[in-house]
Amino acid sequence: MAARLFRVILPVSDIALAERFYSRVLGMPGKRVSPGRHYFDCGGTILACFDAKADGDSIIPKANSEHVYFAVNDLEAAYDRAIAAECQWIEDKIMSRAWGERSFYAKDPFGNPICVVDEGTMFRG
């Protein structure tokens, strides 16, 4: 059996804010699984927003240094939702990349870099 990616941890410092932000950006409510974890099923891979302090952990993780990529079927709607969700930073507009993808880059309220891609233009190498 080939390995498959099933969960990605996204460190956050406020689980309620993370739930509101990602629910809005992803267009789905997700599910609280512990006081400091909120899971979003993104096509079989779980995006796990993790607030270590709310879960009682003593180690507080830093923001991810690399992007987490999401594919959506309506990029314009996702861009509008991301603007409304109050990203820490977001590109001025949706861009067409040299490798053929249409996407936008942003940072969530916790400094985690994300990219949202039109699923019809995903480049897989």
Q: What is the CATH number of domain 7-56+63-121?
A: 3.10.180.10
Alpha-carbon distances of 73 from 54, 96, 103, 108, 110, rounded to whole Å? 33, 15, 11, 20, 25
The predicted-structure confidence for 18-63, as pLDDT tens digits, reads as follows 999 999 999 999 999 999 999 999 999 999 999 999 999 988 889 9
Q: What is the DSSP letter of 61?
A: P
Q: What tokens does 86 get?
A: 């109050």
Q: What is the DSSP letter of 64?
A: P
The predicted-structure confidence for 72-93, as pLDDT tens digits, reads as follows 999 999 999 999 999 999 999 9
Domain boundaries, the chain: 7-56+63-121
